[in-house]
Amino acid sequence: MLKYKKTVGSIDRAKNIYNNHIKPNGVIKVFTGRQLLILSYIIGKHGETTSAFLSATLGVSTRTIKAEIKNINEELPDEERVEYAPKKGYIIKNLTEKTRNKLISIIEEERMNSDEFRRINKILTILLFEKNYISMGKIADKLYFSKSSVRKILDDSWRLGKNIEVSQSKGLRINAPESKKRYLLSKTLETDNSIFEVLSLKENYMYLSSNLSSILEEAFIKHHYIISGDSMKIFQNYMLITIIRSYYDFVIEEDREPVPVSSLMQEIKEKISERIGFRLSDKEIVYCQKKLNECNVISALPKNRGLEAVYADINARVDIFIKIVRENLSLELEMSENLREIFLLHMHKLKLRTNYGHDNVNYSKREIIRKYPMITHIIYEYFVPLFDFVIADSEIAYIISYFAEFESNRKPIKAVLISDLPMSMLYRAVTAVDKYFQNEIYSLEIIPRYLYKARGGNEDYSLVITTEKEMLLQNKELVLIKAVMDDRDIHEMAEQIEVSVRRIEAGRFEKFYFSYINETMFMKINQKLETTDDFFKFSGLKQNKNNYDFILDSGIILIPGFLYDDEKSFIKIFILKYPLRYKGRDIKMIIASGYNIKSSNIKDFYSVINRLLNPGEVKEILKKYRYNKK
């Protein structure tokens, strides 16, 4: 019979964090959850981390943010302080690499130990280690929760709900083959190691984890099979769960589609037996080999590895995708040869994972969707349907990242360099502009000052660069560069031009942005919605098979769509009087959009959506229009 022990409370966890983060010149003490969120934004450099940004993101006043900053500074080591920097927002001044790594470690630990994750994972662990049904009351007793708390967690968690079988007379259980249960446990271990507290195996976990980590690292390096760090962690977790389940006599079923066991996997098996003293069965090793085959490597495998046919098939589908996007949206998404080869291997590994019923977790999924709404929509609309297997949302986020560079909406500009200097003196500046701004500046004309004057300065130049100081009196927005330039001057010139290009682009986009932002885009739904079907009913928007919804951390759903007839592109924001409980989150706002593919400004259109998805942006717009419709 498995033994369970009482959940480690917040006080014990605080002590643990406190005792494990000591610095030579002082102690990094325990921060509150809100303070850790503030630090995560400052360290992560999520745009300008101003008081207004943090206030809108965390849902508190700017006064509270400033008070929290003060408290954070009291806990940081001497000389390392959170300060406000113009145009940057809050930064940590004199932040050492050691302190930075400690803070990141604390933030990560707090995220992994959040109450929601821990409670769900502990209930899931109990169910997975029970061979028969178990009542809700017994689960509550084992975890020292109230029965009502367990019931609420089960009701609220769609992740638990989709895995649990309920019997009124017998209780709860997870009715799944052993291979599926091991996969679920390894996924749980990716976010939270508290499952070993539930099983009273924390010391065993530390011993197993340390030894297994050494075994795997040595074996992978010896066999020249270099996988990503994340893949190594996922594989190690699966091996840990395999050993523990086997130890508790949970027998895995015969694999119906076995794969050959590699020399690498065979060596891992032997080293586990030798160093840990546990021998895995041949059936278990086949499942471990399949998990190994799924791991993402950090570079493309040589083409003599028997993947030619696989590569050719995926490559053909990628070509079709790029062609469809070009024809429908007038966008070029062509990859470099090296990136495409890596992407093809990624898709091969993804298909293996899907065939085995697995997927990789992506904790940046919502952030990726928020930053790249256009590419996200394009991938769901045109890429996913080309493949004959279902791609998990977490995996799609990785695909989006390969095409993220195409989200940029910068339009090339026309520039002029006005100078009375001979071309020999200007050569370094001209070649530097071409080198650093070949995508931003499509034309750079070089003319003397008298010719510019004769033309009346009426030429359609977006950017004006000059070596003549006197011209600054006529136009403060000119970029002044030196006549004689060394490497430092070249970099300073590049920075000045970058600022000017950004200013020009911001001005151009601002006009487009406010063509969509107005009071009529808002609508309040006073009815209580139970499903997204209810939303379409009350909003009056069309619902079709190509509707996708993307949930963001800020309690927002984005529902984008492409319009293929003569309908006008639109962006609408729906404010919900009563939160919609959807996929474990309380949704308070829905942003719906429709882009007509006959238009020619898709990047600008989705840049508007991108900006609306920034924390606090919609709130500021609502303030502007004093929106309070009943």
Confidence band, pLDDT 50/70/90 cuts, at residue 77: confident
Count of alpha carbons within 13 Å of 489, Cβ hemisphere only? 12
Tell me: the pLDDT tens digits for 30-73?
Answer: 577 778 878 888 886 545 678 877 876 676 778 888 888 888 88
Rounded Cα–Cα distance for residues 492 and 475 (Å): 20
User: pLDDT value at position 124?
Assistant: 86
Joined together, the tokens standing for residue 418 give 């006005």
pLDDT digits (tens, 9 = 90+) for 223-270: 888 888 888 988 999 999 999 899 889 999 999 889 999 999 999 999
What is the DSSP annotation of 590-604? EEEEEEETTSS-HHH
Of the candidates 310, 309, 332, the residue with the CA atom closest to the CA atom of residue 321: 332
Give the pLDDT band (50/70/90) at residue 111.
Answer: low
Mean pLDDT, residues 116-120 taken together: 73
DSSP strand pairing (413-418 vs 556-559): unpaired
Please, which pLDDT band fits residue 7 given cuts at 50, 70 and 90?
A: very low
Predicted local confidence at residue 117, as pLDDT: 67
Q: In this structure, is the dihedral angle defined by the CA atoms of residues 444, 449, 453 and 455, taken in order, positive or negative? A: negative
Q: Taking a C-beta distance cutoff of 8 angstroms, is the pair 584, 158 a contact?
A: yes
Chain mean position to CA 459:
44
- pLDDT surpasses 90 at 373: yes
Phi (first) and psi of residue 314, to 5 degrees: -65, -40
What does residue 27 show for φ and ψ, rounded to 5 degrees?
-120, 135
Helix axes 147-156, 136-143, angle to 10 degrees: 110
Q: How confident is the model at residue 11 (pLDDT cuts 50, 70, 90)?
A: very low
Length, in residues, of the chain: 630
**What residues contact 446, with CB distance under 8 A and at least 6 apart?**
416, 417, 419, 423, 426, 430
pLDDT interval class at 504 (50, 70, 90) = confident
Distance CA 563, CA 70 (A): 50
* DSSP structure class, residue 516: T
Q: What is the pLDDT of residue 26?
A: 42
**Mean pLDDT throughout 338-356?**
90
Residue 119 in tokens: 């409670």
Could you tell me the CA-to-CA distances from 177 to 50, 160, 183, 239 in Å, in that order? 50, 17, 10, 17
Q: Using the predicted structure, report yes or no on whether residue 218 has a pLDDT greater than 90.
A: yes
Element (H, E) at 396: helix 393-402
The predicted structure's pLDDT at residue 1: 28
Q: What rounded mean pLDDT belongs to the chain?
A: 82
User: What sign for the dihedral angle of Cα 70, 76, 81, 84?
Assistant: negative
pTM over 0.85: no
User: Residue 15 pLDDT > 50, yes or no?
Assistant: no
Other CB atoms within 10 A of residue 473 CB: 8
| Residue 103 predicted with pLDDT over 90 | no
pLDDT score of 118: 74
CA 229 to the chain's CA centroid: 17
116: pLDDT confidence band, cut at 50, 70 and 90?
low
Q: Output the pLDDT for position 59.
A: 65
Q: Per-residue DSSP letters for 195-257?
A: HHHHTT-HHHHHHHHHHHHHHHHHHHHHTT--B-HHHHHHHHHHHHHHHHHHHTT-PPPPPSS
For 161-206, the pLDDT digits (tens) are 777 888 888 999 988 899 999 998 888 777 666 666 666 666 677 7
pLDDT tens, position by position, 545-557: 666 788 876 678 8
pLDDT value of residue 219: 94
- Contact, 244 vs 207, CB < 8 A? no
pLDDT of residue 12: 39
pLDDT of residue 20 exceeding 50: no
Closest CA to 232 of 160, 165, 292: 292
pLDDT for residue 559 is more than 80? yes
Highest mean pLDDT among 188-192, 323-327, 541-545: 323-327
Interval 445-468 mean pLDDT: 85
What is residue 323's three-state secondary structure?
Answer: helix
Choice between 139 and 112, residue whose per-residue pLDDT is larger: 139
CA distance 163 to 143: 20
pLDDT at 160 over 80: no
Query: What pLDDT sits at residue 287?
Result: 95
How large a percentage of the chain has pLDDT more than 90? Answer: 27
Q: How many CA atoms lie within 13 A of 416 on its CB side?
A: 18
CA dihedral 484, 490, 491, 493 (to 10 degrees): 80
> Which tokens sit at 75?
């806990």
